[in-house]
Structure 1
Amino acid sequence: MRNDANRQNRGSAETDAAQSQCDDSERRVKQEQRAQGQQSLAESTIEDESANEDEQLSHQRLEQQQPLPTVKVTPDPAEDNAREGDRLIPAAEEDATSADEDAKRRTTCAQRLRRHRETSRLNRPSAWGRKCLVLDLDETLVHSSFREVDNPDYVVPVVLEGQEHNVYVVKRPGVDEFMRIMGQYYEIVVFTASLSMYADPVLDLLDKSQVVHHRLFRESCNLYNGNYVKDLQAIIIDNSPASYAFHPNNAIGISTWFNDPHDTELLDLIPFLIDLTNVEDVSAVLGINHDHAALSL
């Protein structure tokens, strides 16, 4: 009996141990399954985030490849009309369709261009009824030098390349009387190939009678064959034939003056110039009765 009881107890203990081992195995399997599920969930989340990033990058690339929409701006006609007054030639109107509008626009352009040409060189005569007498400055009315001379009439400071230099100016004999008398008969214009930074202050000192109506400098000359040519339609007195190459029949040649104190050419010209005020076509007289230095063109 005791042996049977012992065998039953051992069997029951073995059964409990086996059951415990089964329970442990089931727990380990469940833990492994939970661990695998968590890992799968993490990997799935990572894959989803990576897919979202790839999708965003694809959208960005697509947006960069697509051209931006074009916005057409229609100009304001009122604004164009306000600016048109400042233009020499108005801008072409792309929407003009009729021949009448095209012809009107061409006429307007031609009128503005003509006004520009009339005012860009010499202004309209301010002394109506008088002829225009154009005078050269250097070696015609005065002589100037950077080297110091005895008894200069004026000393004019000019700045060249950042340095100040003195220009010594001597007046041609009779120039004051010549200018005063010619101012009574002509509209006087001084047209020089010198730079305005020098010529302008010289004329401020020379024109005591204030008879010079207009001043033109090198900026208004045309460079032709290495010479500065004065483009004009008037009477010009100049010592350089190159200056009046385009208008030889409107010119009176005068000798180059440096320092001769006995020179009288300006005074000698006064009576002749007074007579020219009564001539209708000065070029007909100057072309026949005066010797000009011929310039080969």
Structure 2
Amino acid sequence: MARKPVKKQLKPLLILDLDETLIHASSTLLRPDFDFQVFHYYVYKRPGLDHFLRACAERFELAIWSSASDDYVAEVVQHIMPPDIPLAFVWGRSRCTLMVAPQIDDFGYYNTDYPSHYEYAKKLRKVRTRGFDLQQVLIVDDTPHKVRNCYGNAIYPTPYLGQLDDEELPILLKYLETLATNENLRSIEKRQWQQRITTSPE
């Protein structure tokens, strides 16, 4: 089967995860000021989310890819995405690949002595088949296991667990702004990106 030809992108593609990246959903109330409910979950938007999405849409084509159930993903997107911002796609668990995820030890290394588990992985070849140039794709996900096959494209934010004083999205936006005009996003070293942004001079 022939590959779909790479299309000319006017903007890089930015793929965003949902849970613990843009929102936190809990079956019990963390505090009464939740933003909305989806099924039996109370959902808290990460501080600064509305501005983050609009600012990103100016520089990137946006997409959502979560390993949560497809119906849950669709409902959350309806609540958080401004209706005037188009999305390249909205994908849930049905677009993920179930894989064995090896455990990482306390030092950040894969350790075969730790028990493995299954994880829903996001494979960017599925994005490539839609005609996107992977040199112009970024994927933001708080769970490295889920995007471990996306080396060069992945950015790992600190997981969001509903805290009011979270400041990750403004830092992430600032970092994304430094990447938006690069011709090959995969070639850029992205490890320790938070430290580089927070310690860089204004």
Q: What is the TM-score with the length of structure 1 in the denominator?
A: 0.51
TM-superposed CA distance for 1:148, in Å, is 3.1
Change (3 A) 1:209 1:271: farther
Counterpart in 1 of 2:20? Answer: 139
* Higher RCO, 1 vs 2 (CA within 8 Å, ≥6 residues apart): 2
| Whole-Å separation in 2 of the counterparts to 1:289 and 1:220 | 25
TM-superposed CA distance for 1:138, in Å, is 0.2
* More strand by percentage: 2
| Whole-Å separation in 2 of the counterparts to 1:289 and 1:236 | 12
Checking the alignment, whether the CA contact within 8 Å between 1:253 and 1:291 is kept in structure 2 is no
Paired positions, count: 163
* More helix by percentage: 1
**Counterparts of 1:33-52 in structure 2 under 5 Å?**
none
RMSD of equivalent CA atoms: 2.0
2:159 aligned with 1:267 = no
Letter matched to residue 240 of structure 1: T
**Counterparts of 1:1-297 in structure 2 under 5 Å?**
110-111=1-2, 114-115=3-4, 128-149=9-30, 150-157=32-39, 166-211=40-85, 212-225=87-100, 226-232=118-124, 233=134, 234-285=137-188, 288-291=189-192
| Whole-Å separation in 2 of the counterparts to 1:134 and 1:283 | 14
Letter matched to residue 169 of structure 1: V
* Structure number with bigger Rg: 1
TM-superposed CA distance for 1:254, in Å, is 0.5
| Whole-Å separation in 2 of the counterparts to 1:210 and 1:255 | 28
| Whole-Å separation in 2 of the counterparts to 1:252 and 1:128 | 20
| Whole-Å separation in 2 of the counterparts to 1:289 and 1:222 | 24
| Whole-Å separation in 2 of the counterparts to 1:152 and 1:168 | 6
Please state whether the residue corresponding to 1:248 is helix, strand or coil. Answer: coil
TM-superposed CA distance for 1:208, in Å, is 1.9
Please state whether the residue corresponding to 1:152 is helix, strand or coil. Answer: coil
1:216-275 C-alpha deviation (Å, 9 max, x unpaired): 110000111011110114211110001111012111110111121111111112122122
Please state whether the residue corresponding to 2:33 is helix, strand or coil. Answer: coil
Checking the alignment, whether the CA contact within 8 Å between 2:73 and 2:91 is kept in structure 1 is no
* Unaligned ranges ≥5, structure 2: 101-117, 125-133, 194-202
| Whole-Å separation in 2 of the counterparts to 1:146 and 1:178 | 26
Counterpart in 2 of 1:4? Answer: none
Checking the alignment, whether the CA contact within 8 Å between 1:180 and 1:209 is kept in structure 2 is no
Letter matched to residue 93 of structure 2: R
* Unaligned ranges ≥5, structure 1: 1-109, 119-123, 158-165, 293-297
| Whole-Å separation in 2 of the counterparts to 1:250 and 1:128 | 16
